[in-house]
Structure 1
Amino acid sequence: MSNWIEAKVKDVKWWTDSLFSLIVNADVEPFTAGQFTKLAMQVGDKRVARAYSYVNAPDNPDLEFYLINVEDGQLSQQLAQLKPGDSVTIERRATGFFTLDEVPSSEQLYMLSTGTALGPFISILEQGDVWQKFEHVHLVHGVRLNEDLSYQQRIAALQKQNPNLHYSPVVSRESASVGFNGRITDVIKDHRLFEVTGKHVNPDTAQFMICGNPEMVKDTTAILLELGFSRNRRREPGQITVEQYW
């Protein structure tokens, strides 16, 4: 059986001129929140495929992906033109280790994301079993502009379900209408981020999942290492679990 199958587009939701969510239906294999699959389309005489994380919880049949329409993007330009009823090819089997079962339990979990890397965290939060491992969860989303803060209603609904879900937008290119100004690295360095929960943050009380552009992942990891946290490995559990987002 081929690992590539056809997916039917159910909806395309545009958040800004360049950010959009693609919702499709397809008979994919069960996946774990935080994992990614691949979408593909025929571009000229070749098939172009790219990896995208699921935004939806695993029990939701509406398969959702949060994308940026990159100006020179071979695939994103094509995906951005899709309409309900169109077809796209999807990889049936998901992969990836950016999942909760790879993260040790603790009092607090910090989910640090930039841009479209918010997606896997929405999936993990909507799956819901995060609350079996952590008392407080802090979702942090770094963007350039306020308008880039997508998924506000979904995040508000999750907060309503669990008041121990804290949400901090971090806006770098203009004055933040909510949350913090600057970059994620700034609000960790000056400890502003840790003051939100009012809880003590150290290697015994906190875990970090970091997902975003490679520069942010590298810089944030370096700051956390300086603060005494360590990388999380299967053989040697630590507090920092990362995923590069391109």
Structure 2
Amino acid sequence: MWVTGEVLERIDWNEKLFSLKIKAAVEPYTAGQFIKLSQVRDDKRVARAYSVVNPPGSDCVEILAVAVEDGLLSPDLQSLNPGDNIEVTPKATGFMTLDEIPQGVLQGKHLWLLSTGTAVGPFLSMLLTDEPWQRFEKVVLVYGVRIAKDLAYLDLIKQLQAKYPHQFVFVPIVTREPFEDALTCRIPEAIQSGLLQQKAALDINPENSQVMICGNPGMITEAQSVLLELGLAKNLRRAPGQITVEKYW
């Protein structure tokens, strides 16, 4: 169930937020899926799930994580350096993928990706593939954090803006301090008030919108409730809709 991976690089976004690039024998995966990392300590294996940030076909897997002060694994992950080893699941899993989005007349024209914190990871993986740009006229990435230094991968996001200037809309949300061109309210409030739609210059409605939500459970529950009020429905395999969610813990 586990293979040994080698850390190629650690990127420190701030004192707690970091990324790891890991060389490991991981099977082909779909953008949006996650792997597990683990260590054995005192004869007990400690494992945690992390979404893969980079796209399928990469020569490594990259994860974005926060070192939780009392965490059983994340502080150790943050201490890893190039050349260190970490155990990895060889097979990625998870259903936060574009494969789960209805196609054809049920798809709609606009893809909304709503994320908080490290949950931006699976969406970046998707945005680095061709599929969202081929399927949707507009793609909106909403990235919510408390303070500006928690915004990771801004350079990558700017590259996507330059590559897809007419398709890609980026809406940062920073709730506890001013930040250039960012909204300051939480994602559910931004949808309910219409500020998010105004910022993106797009409406959210059942006819044109597919919404994927990944982040903390409170945000997901509240955002989903607001979207249901707008007439959108949960996306289920037996009953396709417009809202696809994955709780991040």
TM over 0.5: yes
**What is the CA RMSD across the aligned residues, in angstroms?**
1.0
Shift of 1:176: 2.6
Flag structure 1 segments of 5+ consecutive residues without an equivalent. Answer: none
Are 2:39 and 2:45, in contact at CA under 8 Å, matched by a contact in 1? yes
1:68 aligns with 2:66: yes
Are 1:106 and 1:133, in contact at CA under 8 Å, matched by a contact in 2? no
1:207 aligns with 2:210: yes
Task: List structure 1 segments (4+ residues) > 6 angstroms apart after TM superposition.
Answer: none
Corresponding residue to 2:112 among 110, 113, 133: 110
Q: Equivalent residue for 2:86?
A: 88
User: More displaced, 177-186 or 11-20?
Assistant: 177-186
Structure 2 residue identity aligned to 1:7: G
Are 2:111 and 2:136, in contact at CA under 8 Å, matched by a contact in 1? yes
Shift of 1:46: 1.2
Structure 2 residue identity aligned to 1:30: P
Corresponding residue to 1:134 among 133, 136, 141: 136
Corresponding residue to 1:227 among 227, 230, 238: 230
Q: Secondary structure at the match of 2:179?
A: coil
CA offsets 1:114-146 (integer angstroms, 9 cap, x no match): 000000000000012111221100000010001
Flag structure 2 segments of 5+ consecutive residues without an equivalent. Answer: none
Corresponding residue to 1:162 among 141, 161, 164: 164
Structure 1 residue identity aligned to 2:210: Q
Residues of 2 paired with 1:200 and 1:187: CA distance? 12
Count of equivalent residues: 244
1:176 aligns with 2:179: yes
CA offsets 1:160-198 (integer angstroms, 9 cap, x no match): 111111001111111233321121112101111112343
Are 1:4 and 1:90, in contact at CA under 8 Å, matched by a contact in 2? yes
Corresponding residue to 2:18 among 17, 20, 28: 20
TM-score calculated relative to the size of structure 2? 0.95
Residues of 2 paired with 1:216 and 1:109: CA distance? 18
Q: Equivalent residue for 2:34?
A: 36
TM-score calculated relative to the size of structure 1? 0.97
Residues of 2 paired with 1:81 and 1:41: CA distance? 13
Report % sequence identity: 47
